[in-house]
Structure 1
Amino acid sequence: MKTHWDKKSRLKNSKRGRRKCLTHAIKGYMNEWFYVYCKNTSLHGFRYITMDRSTMIESVLWFVVCISSIIFCGILMLRLWDNYSNNPIVTTIDTTNPIWDVSFPGVTICNNNKVYRLHADIIAQNLYTNGFSIDESDKFFFSLMKLIRPDKISIDNVTAWQVLDNLGMTVEKLMEQLMQPCSALLVRCAWIGEIRDCNKIFKTVKSREGFCCAFNSHYNLNVKHNELDEETRDPSDFNSTDYDITSADHLPGVREILKAPGSGRDVGLTVALNVERHMYKATSRPYVGASVMIHDPIDFPDIGAHMASVLPGHVLTISVAGTSVKSMESLRNIPIEKRLCYFDKEIPGETRYSYQSCISECKAKNIQRLCGCLPFYYPEMHKGIRTCFLPDLECLLSIRRSSDYWKKGTCKKCLPQCTDMTYHINIEDIKMDDVEFDSDITRGLDKSNVSFVHVFFGDLSYVEYRKESIISWDSLLASFGGIFGLCLGGSVMSVIELIYLLARQFFKRQPRERQEPSRTSLPPASEMFLSIPAERREVQKPRSHKKSDDKRVFVTWYQTALHRRETTNVGDVYRDPVEF
């Protein structure tokens, strides 16, 4: 038992001894490496730590100074990196940009009357012949307006489905046929003072106000929706318009986004409207008139559109001001999580990204998720989606009143555009008087029933906010180098020196015998000779046969490989080199 504990204790002592030897070897290696580095580095201050004639206090003082400089350098670099990573974008303002570089806004005009009496009477005759009463027909038409502005209706769901089935058409098709045709709403149009055919420069579009008439609207540039071709358009459609394909390229705002050559009322769009108050059947607002929406040409007329109302016998003047946000190409290298915006062609399937259209599409998807249908005025995003009808109004109304919907429906994937144009409007509404005013746009029109709308840029320049990276990668590297040089006096070569020294020390393998030769292993005799001490050689006394009292013997040898001279006392008896 005693022998077992003795072996166990000896084993522990041997392990502890090996661990101490290893620790001692590592410390010795680190001390040697640190000594060599301080002697040879180009960094300021380190050579004073291992200076030959320096005291311990001086070495410790310089060591503290060097460590403090390293810490200060690290703090400055971290602050610079933190500022770069948290605020990578800088914005500058430029107010000298000409307005003719800006796209003219899209102008969407919607009559407040959503059921055109003339078309409703045609559809009502069909209902009468199939057994529906006048009261049921009127309740049905009055209720259709609620599809745009959800509210309670007076018709029951069963009757509503029966009427729709009897008509044999979809909700979307029914609402399009019941709108006032653009050919009736738009009496006269002028672009930059030149009279144009309204039927050729305006087109029927969907908007949050239902079916409307739009100028310079190009929503299809940023989304992929299937629009009806001219060949597939229903001949019974009251709003179908025959466009001259060959001359469409010369029509303003039809094929491509339009730009105005200047500012002022005479350099813009002028439209004469006839809302036909005697044709009102069901209106979305408690007055006779039209709504004018100003929006980006590629946006769906919903979120972000500015709206103004015009009444019969009034002149509505809309002065538009533009504000541009332009992101430079240097922002593409910044992650989306940092710049928080999308460039064009960065979203798969979209040529021109629109933030407002993305929000509208997100709202539509949430309505579909909660109610299982999509309002008719939203563009068709996917085939097979059911269109909301009168029985779905309760769900649509509850969504509009619910605050949880907006929390759940937050569209996190929709980010602003990196390059975008925002429009701001100033409105002036004046009632017309009979003052014998005459112009091409007003000549021959009944000013008591007609409204006039003027849309134009109010200034010759616009404000542009340019967003770019606050610092590029090469400037960031140069800033780090400046901090490194300020605190430690270093450069790229200092880093290379450190890497070189670490690599050299790591791969260096020298036998210990060459570094510390032992007394027993002497070099060959051809490389060794005995010599007289230096003090004796300086006297240069004549050689005497009398023995000297100095018993010390110095052995000196040369190693050709190491080029080093060492002197070792190997005995107490002096011998002549010849005798050795």
Structure 2
Amino acid sequence: MKKTLSNEIKKIILDNIESSTSHGFPNIVRSESYILKFMWTLCLLISSGYCAYCLTKSFQDYFSYETDTQLKFKRVSQIEFPTITFCNKFSIDLNKGNEFTELEKKGFNKLKYSIPDFTRFNDFYKDIDYYFKNQTMYNLKNLSYFGFDIDKMLLNCNFNFKECNSSNFELFLSSTYGFCYQFNADKSNIRKVSSPGKQAGLSLELFIGYPSADYDLYRSYGAHLFIHNSSTIPSSEFDGISLSTGHETDIVMSKTLFQKLPKPFSDCVQDSNSTESFDSDVYKETIRKFGQYEQKACINLCFHKSIFDLCGCYYPDANIIQSTELMCNKSVNKDCIIPFVSNYGESEESTKCFENCPEECESVKYSLQMSHANYPTPSYTDFFMAYDALIKKGARNFTSYSNVKESILAVNVYFDDIGYTFVEEKPSKTIEQLVADIGGFLGLCIGISFLSIAEIFDSILKVILLFFQKKSDTVNPKNINF
């Protein structure tokens, strides 16, 4: 009796199963005993369930986009030296003796003797801090009459085994400190060093000035130092190191380069120079204002814009605004800004700023180790006294060891090694590893490989060819001889 089409299809499928490279299905088909068929079926179900569990977990691991962090130290022949910015904590040189400084002296006296209660010094110094920033912003065009000139501040300078001078520094304006000075700030000509240690680094000896009980309303005096990448702008609000007079401070640097993976692994910005990399107004404004994106600068800008949205004016910060027309006055600072700032860290505005200011995919960090020594020695002081008396005609008024010690400081900034740590993110699971997991679990649990998948297509092709053969036999039947 002629086999029906369904029987022939069944035979093709069973023949392919029996010859399959997988293990479970052929044994179920070949076994004549129902007990053996049941045993093989049970084993196949258990192994298939375990395989499905492992594959599901493998897919979850891949699509969670976890990363592994690799740390490599790379020693190089030369390394870029960072930009060093220093400021005098005395934003005003009261010894300049002009009409502007005399007005400031009167203003300082008026503030000092208007204190009704000396026990409320925290509130007083909040007002003083605002006063200094406010006055700096109002007198940006006249700061040359107030600020400490670099020729007066810079006693000695050495960099990379060579002497340097005031011409190697660029002026930088800070609303907190007034005149600041930057070394190695020219982006087109970044200086490099090829040796570790003090002599290859930057050594500065600075004159700070003398504290005055009559006029100075500062809580501390000395210098403020920023160590940063040449493409970033330092902020006195959250950056920098305080240096005290009468001490030599050694700052040993180590450089770290961070490289994060972009989406879908993180929300970091891959091209920090493009305003199209992230859809946020404050992100785009950060690039337009500073020329390059930095998350800290973006968050700081967002913070100041939050103040503007609430109070209708800006807190005085030279990095944020240059015009005094939009600057808040003293009463707004007390009634609106201070209450807002005190609750900002736990507010929704803080969270929104963080969400609108993504992290950079590539960034540079400098780790610092500091140590201090008494400075200067009595014999070294004699050089300064002679230099000031003979060369500078007593401009700094050096008269005694204690007088010199309370007004000068030294700082050495240098690398501990000519190399950097490279912190790089790698995908925890790549597409190749996912494919290997799929093949491994299918092979381990069911015995299936890529060739087993080809066997399925082989069965489908044979069935299709059978249909075409049956159709051909129907159209052209064979001659039958009686």
Pairwise same-fold verdict (TM > 0.5): yes
What does the per-residue CA deviation read over 1:484-541, in whole Å, with 9 as the maximum and x for residues that have no partner?
Answer: 22222222233343356457768975899999x9xxxxx99x6266xxxxxxxxxxxx
Structure 1 residue 201, shift from structure 2 partner: 2.4
Partner of 1:423: 366
Name the counterpart of 1:289. 222
The alignment's C-alpha RMSD in Å is 4.6
Residue among 305, 311, 330 paired with 2:239:
305
- Residues 307 and 417 (structure 1), Cα distance of their counterparts in 2 relative to 1, 3 Å cut: same
- Aligned counterpart in structure 1 of residue 184 of structure 2, from 198, 216, 221: 216
Structure 1 partner of 2:445: 487
The alignment's TM-score, normalised by the length of structure 2, stands at: 0.72
Residue type at the aligned position of 1:492:
F
Q: In the aligned structure 1, how far is the partner of 2:113 from the partner of 2:329?
A: 13
2:322 equivalent to 1:343: no
Which residue of structure 2 aligns with residue 379 of structure 1?
319
| Pair 1:153–1:471, CA change in 2 (3 A) | closer
Q: 1:262 is matched with which residue?
A: 195
- Matched with 1:321 is 254
Contact kept? 1:211, 1:377, Cα under 8 Å: no
Instruction: Please list every run of 5 or more consecutive structure 2 residues that lacks an aligned counterpart in the other structure.
Output: 1-5, 115-120, 276-283, 389-397, 399-403
Any conservation in 2 of the 1:114–1:281 contact (CA below 8 Å)? no
Q: Deviations over 1:91-135 (max 9, x none)?
A: 22323x22665432332212111233256842377x79xxxxx96
Q: Is the 8 Å Cα contact of residues 187 and 198 (structure 1) preserved in structure 2?
A: no
Higher-RCO chain (CA-CA 8 Å, sequence separation at least 6): 2
User: Which structure shows the bigger proportion of residues in helix conformation?
Assistant: 2
Residue number in structure 2 paired with 1:184: 152
Q: Is the 8 A contact 2:205 2:410 kept in 1?
A: yes
Contact 1:184–1:274 at 8 Å: present in 2 too? yes
> 2:303 is paired with a residue of what secondary structure?
helix
Residue deviations 1:189-211, cap 9 Å, x none? 22123222224323224376555
- Alpha carbons of structure 1 residues 48 and 29: separation in structure 2 relative to 1, 3 Å: same
Letter paired with 2:266: R
Equivalent of residue 93 in structure 1, options 64, 71, 76: 71
Deviation, structure 1 residue 301: 1.6
2:251–2:411 CA contact under 8 A, matched in 1: yes
Aligned partner letter, 2:21: S
Per-residue CA deviations over 1:525-558 (Å, capped at 9, x if unaligned) read x6266xxxxxxxxxxxxxxxxxxxxxxxxxxxxx
Provide the C-alpha distance between the structure 2 equivalents of 1:44 and 1:103, rounded to a whole number of angstroms: 62
Cross-structure match for 1:198: 166
Deviation at 1:77?
Answer: 1.9
Match of 2:23 among 44, 52, 75: 44
The alpha-carbon deviation at position 269 of structure 1 amounts to 0.8
Q: Is the 8 A contact 2:243 2:409 kept in 1?
A: no
CA contact (8 A) 1:139 1:154 kept: no
Of 137, 151, 156, 2:126 maps to 151
Cα deviation, 1:36-80, whole Å, max 9, x if unaligned, reads 6634543222122222x6133322332232233322222222222
The residue type equivalent to 2:68 in the other structure is V
The amino acid that maps onto 2:252 is S
Cα deviations across residues 190-233 of structure 1 (Å, max 9, x unaligned)?
A: 2123222224323224376555222234xxxxxxxxxxxxxxxx
Structure 1 residue 265: Cα displacement = 1.0
Distance in 2 between residues matched to 1:441 and 1:194, nearest whole Å: 20
User: Residues 107-506 of structure 1: matches in 2 within 5 Å?
Assistant: 107-117=84-94, 121-123=98-100, 139=110, 151-152=126-127, 170=138, 172-173=140-141, 178-206=146-174, 209=177, 211-217=179-185, 253=186, 255-277=188-210, 285-302=218-235, 305-311=239-245, 313-327=246-260, 331-332=261-262, 335-336=263-264, 338-345=265-272, 347-348=274-275, 353-380=293-320, 386-394=326-334, 395-403=336-344, 407-410=348-351, 411-437=354-380, 444=387, 446=398, 447-448=404-405, 449-499=407-457, 501=459
The TM-score with structure 1 as length reference comes to 0.61
* Structure with max Cα Rg: 1
Contact 1:118-1:279 at 8 Å conserved across structures: no
The answer to whether the Cα contact below 8 Å between 1:319 and 1:456 also exists between their aligned partners in 2 is yes
In structure 1, the gaps of 5 or more residues are: 1-26, 129-133, 218-252, 518-522, 530-580
Deviations 1:311-339 (A, max 9, x none): 1x432222222333345xxx45xx24x23
Q: Is residue 527 from structure 1 mapped to residue 460 from structure 2 by the alignment?
A: no
Amino acid across the alignment from 1:466: E
- CA 1:255–1:320 in 2, change beyond 3 Å: closer, same or farther? same
1:59 to 34, 37, 45: 37
- SS of equivalent to 1:490: coil
The count of corresponding residues between Structure 1 and Structure 2 is: 434
| 1:105 and 2:39 matched | no
The separation in 2 between residues aligned to 1:364 and 1:408, in whole angstroms, is 11
- Look up the equivalent residue of 2:421 and give its one-letter code: V
* Structure 1 CA distance for aligned equivalents of residues 203 and 441 of structure 2: 62
Spell out, residue by residue over 1:424-483, the C-alpha distance to the aligned partner (whole angstroms, 9 max, x if none): 222223232444349999983554333222111133444333322234323332332222
